[in-house]
Structure 1
Amino acid sequence: MEPAAVDAPPANVLGALLQQLGMGPEQLIARINQRRARRGCSPLSPKAAYPWLREIPSLPQPDNQTDALAVLTARAGRCITASDVGWDLPRHRHRHRHLDAPGDAPLEALLQEISQGDLMDRRHLLMLTGAAATAPALALLLGPIEEASAASSGQLSERLVGSIERAVRDLREIDDSTGSASGDLTWGVGIWQSASRVVAQARGSGPLADRLHTAYIELSEQVGWMCFDARRHPQAQRIYHTGMRLARERGTSLTTRHSTANLVASAAYQSAWLGHHNDAAALLDIAARTPDLPSAAAAVIAERRVYAAGRRHDPDAVLRYRDEALLQLGSPDERAPWWATWLTKDSVDAATGRAWLSCDQPSQALPFLRSRVEAIAPDYPRDQLHAVLDLADTVHQCGDGDQARELLGQAEGLIDTVSSQRMVHRFEALSSAVAGA
């Protein structure tokens, strides 16, 4: 007769405590996720506790540690502290995170890291510039990575993929109407983290997989834009880069490549807004080289190039890209993607006015921006606020302080209807400039 199997002793202090409490690691995470749900946070992976149980354990993020200790305290009926589970040791300051360089990270490991915790909330993330900012997009020009075919570890369904596609459009509608409100952004990042887990688990090929990858790239563009609008610039950049990383490895369909071009163009807009002009120009050149772009998508990229040209004080390029955007808009085809339908001639005029304003030519900007204020629909309060602030800035630079103050009063009435830290910061800076004139 064989001897009875004996359970191996726990590898660390936390493991011993869980065994003593009759609690498995998945149960611990389930209880933590209940606490996270009450705060509106996305759930951790059911396997998130396993790195904490290694012989040399990983230490949880601070929020996760607080939740875990609260759960263990409730289970044990006594106070469980960090020292009780070996978490009072110094943290490694230079622990490698895939999100520090998403463009270079192994895709599956990157997606798992995104889905497991609160890394996007870290305040010490730094913006990447130069080669570090443009390399993930430049890699797209090399074509998809050749990989051995991998068996799917998660079965995709039409219903699941359709739900993710609808979530992207719902987020766009919310963002258009209310801006990047804290709750909306939390929800958006949570969807992005959950979708990361789906993509990581559902490898394979075929039309449904192509739709999933396209939806994930569209989601990365949308959530990245919301982080940008909330002035969480490093987080926005990491989200954009993750979308590029997925496109590099699995973006084989034309629709995926077109969505990637839009994502790269949005990353370029962020760079131009922040004054990283070389990065913006390089990213837009890469987006424009995407093959077989629908005319509506090409118009979006040209509109972004108008704005970027103004920010780098290149009036000849402003005129050239304005002509290109209007030409593409005037040559519609039946392949216009849903995310490009926002662009109209009025939108191009707005970008042109902003470009002339950035070029220190406010008199050139004035007719474009005045017509934009008159044309903008009240259904889009952030765009309306943006247009009013642009015009206030323009008339202030033209020397009309009274009208600038009148427009700022109009902007003040709009600012409570939309949540956009980007617009709030602009309003405050412009109000100070007008008051000091």
Structure 2
Amino acid sequence: MSLRALAAQTIRQVVNDGKSLAELMPLAQQKFDDSRDKALLKEIVYGVLRHYRRLSALRDQLLSQKLKEPNGALGCLLVVGLYQLFYTRVPGHAAVAATVDGVDDINEPRARGLVNAILRRAQREGESRLSKIDRNWELLHSHPDWFIEALKQQDKSSVLAILEANNHPAPMTLRVNRRKLNRDAYLSKLNALGINATAHPEASDALTLQDPLDVNQLPGFADGEVSVQDAAAQLCADYLQLQPGLSVLDACAAPGGKTAHMLERENTLKVLALDNDATRLQRVQENLSRLQLHAELLCADAGDNKRWWNGKAFDRILLDAPCSGTGVIRRHPDIKWLRRERDIPALAATQLQLLNALWPTLADGGLLLYATCSALRAENADVVERFLAEQAHAKLLPLPGQRAGETGRVIRCGEQQMDGFYYALLQKI
């Protein structure tokens, strides 16, 4: 199957069948040996999903007759062609030819003429048509209506910045292992190899690369000197106020980045890393092994403490709760089209249930850090405020960077180059 046809098939499986890129991309990329083909496939698939509404609107305008299945293979192949014409450096003639050739691989042999005509028409008329399409905010920024409306209800002033940040690829951010060396020393190593990076202004172990790299090109990666982790996620190690010898529960630990960071900061911690997915828990162990760190790992449901808790209270708990992932759309653009408005109440109910289940396992005076990578207040402040209303012995503590009037720390996607994230620090009193 040609690269363009495979890209179209992958996109169709996301928008039509509800499958995730995490499931689809490894299988799709395996079909190519050349790393350049793998990279181009990813660029097209991710790029189309970032701009799907805008490009679909253009496709529909260029067609003289609507497709029976706009999100079917042919409809997605047309959008693949349009993406190459308006978002990539692929020469126009090459983009058209390669996309037309993809028709044979999607069982639409009679559509070669249609695809060729639509893409050539796009070369002539596309820019003018896009200028009119872009008058519609939702189409220009290619997000679902319900999500845009939710952001407007929260804070109208931040909506545009979030939508724009979501449509740009995330930078590659590193976490330097301070047990091995400090951030300045590792930055010097990078500079000596001609790798440009900058120290993050808030996350004290974070370096942001100017250009992404394969991890195997990072000096000291195999030896545990550095890991890949967004700066927003790195803040949890600061917020938990770790001290030597404390007992810590990482309640939804996979893939283990935060578990590892806590131990890098304070390797005398007694950490229990809990996750209900055995396969993902194995990734926690792999991360810890590379970094030469140790934690107790347990496969269990954090929300059912009777099955796993031995009755000994924890000094610190990190609850990185399952959520909509709407704060990390720039990394996972399929979230735009997989997540539904109706999913949010159920997620919020699960988050509150987890908070209530974990609270009895926290020692008096102990701290619980609630975290999500959601951009939605319904999963963040609303959940915490409901919890505080029900728990008389819970107190919300202020966090660095917290804005006046906000419950917890809201990090908007793109803020200081970080992912969208939320933190609330709770103390048992």
TM-score tier, shorter chain, comes to: under 0.3
- Give the TM-score normalised by the residue count of structure 2: 0.27
Q: Between Structure 1 and Structure 2, which shows a larger proportion of strand residues?
A: 2
Instruction: Please say which structure displays the higher CA radius of gyration.
Output: 1
- Give the TM-score normalised by the residue count of structure 1: 0.27
Q: Between Structure 1 and Structure 2, which shows a larger proportion of helix residues?
A: 1
